[in-house]
């Protein structure tokens, strides 16, 4: 279930060196790409660092692909 305030669709590619996020803001009609370093053995950390750059909280994310 998503929050009524959720408007972000996030696509993620976790690589050995970088984690790339494609972020679509459906409410604003904007998109951006974020690239952050990957953390070997803690792949979720790179994803969460990328999310922190584009959203005030994870609750803003409606869908993760």
Mean local confidence (pLDDT), 51-61: 87
pLDDT at 57: 82
If you ran DSSP here, which 8-state letter would residue 60 be given?
Answer: G
**Exposed / middle / buried, residue 41 (Cβ in 10 Å: 0-12, 13-18, 19+):** exposed
pLDDT at 1: 44
What is the per-residue DSSP string for 40-54? TT-HHHHHHHHHHHH
pTM: 0.80
pLDDT at 42: 92
Give pLDDT tens digits for 1-54. 455 578 999 999 999 999 999 999 999 999 999 999 998 999 999 999 999 998
């Amino acid at each position: 279930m998503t929050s009524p305030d959720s408007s972000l669709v996030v696509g993620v590619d976790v690589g050995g060196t970088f984690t790339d996020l494609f972020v679509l803001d459906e409410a604003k009609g904007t998109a951006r790409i974020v690239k952050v370093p990957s953390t070997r053995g803690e792949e979720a950390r790179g994803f969460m660092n990328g999310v922190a750059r584009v959203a005030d909280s994870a609750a803003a994310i409606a869908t993760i692909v």
